[in-house]
Chain A
Amino acid sequence: MAGNGQEPRYFLIWFILFVLTMAEVGYAFLALPQWLLATGLILMALWKALLVALYYMHLKFEPKRLWILAASPLPLAVILVIAVLTEF
């Protein structure tokens, strides 16, 4: 798994994360409608989260079964939040 191709990739990912963080902070203070801001920011956050999970946690090089296991709680979180949000 520890092929020599790893070295540049870590710093590349680190740089992308840095850029995304700066983009997020900038984007957050633009004068856009609230819902547009929120979705944009959440997408960027998920993108960063995915990057960390795939490359730093080596999910990319694990058997596909571990992907299913890793993603299993996410639908539950979505179900809980959306169901309760219909209250308000």
Chain B
Amino acid sequence: MDAHAHAHEMPWIRRYIFSTDHKTIAIQFLLMSLFFLVVGGLLAMMMRWQLGFPSEPMPGGMLLPDEMMAPTPAGAIMLPEFYNSLVTMHGTIMIFFAIMPLLVGVFGNLLIPLQIGADDMAFPRLNMASFWMAFPAGLLMLASFAVEGGAAGAGWTSYAPLSASGEYTGVYLGQQLWLISLTILGFASLAGAVNYITTIINMRAPGMTWFRMPLATWALFITAILILLAIPILAGALIMLLFDQTIGTAFFLPASDGEPLLWQHLFWFFGHPEVYILILPAMGITSDVLANGARKPVFGYHAMVLAIVAIAFLSWIVWGHHMFQSGMNPMLGTTFMITTMVIAVPSAIKVFNWLGTIYKGNIHLHTPMLHALGFVSMFIIGGLSGVFMASTPVDVYIHDTYFIVAHLHYVLFGGSLFAIFAGITFWYPKMFGRLMNEKWGRIHFWLTMILYNIVFWPMHSIGIQGHMRRIYDPTQYEFLQPLQPINQFITMAAFALVAVQVIYALNFIISIWKGKKAGNNPWKANSLEWTVPSPPPHGNFELVPIVYRGPYEYSAPDVEEDYWLQDAPPPSETAAPALEPQPVAD
């Protein structure tokens, strides 16, 4: 344990900037992704302004250069090129630089070693390299706003040939920077995935069998496998598109017999595992927090694990449902419809098991529990609205309309982001040693919950009435003009929603110094991270813990408190002998 001994003499720069401690790297990922969450949110606000008040001067518009805002006497009006860049960059930054690092980067790094009883990741230096590749990728993505021609403007899916040749959008360098930035982020994610999988397989504490791992770690393990196998496909496709852009190859350029559909197949073959990468860790975090809040074991632990594994397997054979109307072979459409309908089943199982968890519980409505319940209720809506798209004839009508935008925001904002709020608030003491303020946490939750629904629920309605996606100025279409009041209503609600997030930001920042001091186990939870001081020292565990039971032994009859730490030895010899850590794990 030499790493543990000499941690204190390490120079400041090695301890905080180029640290190889998984907890410090988690905090680095947290700060980076929260910054990008704010940037993504601001981009969304500019989009909402343009959709709510098309071709009217945007307040603060003159701050932006002329390539983005047309200087007219009345004020600065947004140009369509800039709107397309906003659409693309809002999607890309939120998915790749906010939600993914928050779920996989932060909770992966923070929870995996602590929850399986390891002193650190299997390859600490590789873990540090993972952050120090992701951060420059983010800077590169932001810098693409400032290059000539503006940022990439072909959607976060960057369909060819619009993205394959600059003549169609006037964006040359911006698109190439987008491609290079995502490729570098791909290397960062791969480095992380290799680390997570090796750590979970090989470094579990004695007694921590596969079915005694918390569901958060299970979800992160399966997510790491999805990342490991999906991201290289994206890297390959991005590199081919970059070659089309620069050295004149014709993978996706129909002019010289390339195949635009090949890009869509490659992108979505990565794309669908990607959207499950964005939701599985959120499901894992929610299971942990719900069990803790309800003081009751997770209902059907084995079923939950099997559901996560089923989602992982099925996520590889459903990608066609993004391409029903793309000119793909209709016979394939039928196959993908059936597989897509089947993949709805594991999600349903998880929802029912969450309900089972809080059934007959002793529900403590602390802030993480509120956010977790928010996740479950919003994920129900998001999951159910997905069934509409699975049925191909209905998808003919609602594909590429705001119904799809509503669905994806219900699962990403209502789903992942609520779980991220729950996760940050729940493990905040473990990261910073202090608790976030409960009162302000609740105020923020209820305001966000209400405003969030006011913003995204009407999107189902304008989507059903035919409002297409990524439209710069809906009033150009006569049949969309009656929907303009709803667009304005959504814009104003969206501004309020973002304003409310300031409460969480302040609560987050102030609590670092002013928050109530947290002991080892403020939430009275069972998993191993709550058996070490907050924040845990370098090397986490003084003594390698021995695990005797599962993570969800809440309200167990043989112990009087309503929680039972995983490494607490059984009450007496006479009790059932502790599970010997069998040499061959089952």
Chain A residues close to B by CB (< 8 Å): 72-73, 76, 79-80, 83-84, 86-87
Contacts and interface: CB of A to CB of B under 8 A. Distances in A.
Contacts of A84: 261-262, 265
A83 B331 CA distance: 11
Contacts of B233: 80
Given A86-B329, A87-B329, A80 B229 contact: no
A84 B265 CA distance: 7
A86 B316 CA distance: 17
A87 to B, nearest CB: 5
5 contacts: A83-B320, A83-B332, A84-B265, A87-B261, A87-B328
Given A79-B316, A80-B265, A80-B269, A86 B229 contact: no
B328 A72 contact: no
A73 B269 CA distance: 13
Contact of A76 (B229, B265, B266, B331): B229
Taking residues whose C-beta sits less than 8 angstroms from the other chain, chain B's interface range is 10 to 19
B317 A79 contact: yes
A80 B266 CA distance: 8
Q: Which of A73, A83, A86 has the most CB of B within 10 A?
A: A83
B229 A83 contact: no
Interface string B216-252: 0000000000000100010000000000000000000
A87 B332 contact: yes
Nearest to B261: A87
B228 to A, nearest CB: 9
A72 B226 CA distance: 11
B interface: dominant SS: helix
Contacts of B329: 86-87
A83 B334 CA distance: 12
Given A72-B229, A76-B229, A86 B331 contact: yes
B332 A76 contact: no
A79 B269 CA distance: 10
A73 B316 CA distance: 11
Interface string B315-349: 01100100000001101100000000000000000
Interface string B135-166: 00000000000000000000000000000000
Nearest to B265: A84
Nearest to B197: A69
Contacts of B266: 80
A14 to B, nearest CB: 30
B20 to A, nearest CB: 26
A76 B316 CA distance: 7
Contacts of A80: 233, 265-266, 269
Which are the 6 A-B pairs with shortest beta-carbon distances? Answer: A84-B265, A80-B269, A87-B329, A76-B316, A86-B329, A73-B229
A71 to B, nearest CB: 12
Contact of A86 (B262, B317, B332): B332
A83 B265 CA distance: 9
Contacts of B269: 80
Nearest to B584: A63
A86 B317 CA distance: 14
A80 B318 CA distance: 11
A80 B229 CA distance: 12
Nearest to B230: A76
Contacts of B229: 72-73, 76
A87 B328 CA distance: 7
Contacts of B328: 87
A25 B316 CA distance: 36
A40 B562 CA distance: 66
Given A86-B331, A87-B332, 14 more contacts: A72-B229, A79-B316, A79-B317, A80-B233, A80-B265, A80-B266, A84-B262, A84-B265, A86-B329, A86-B332, A87-B261, A87-B265, A87-B328, A87-B329
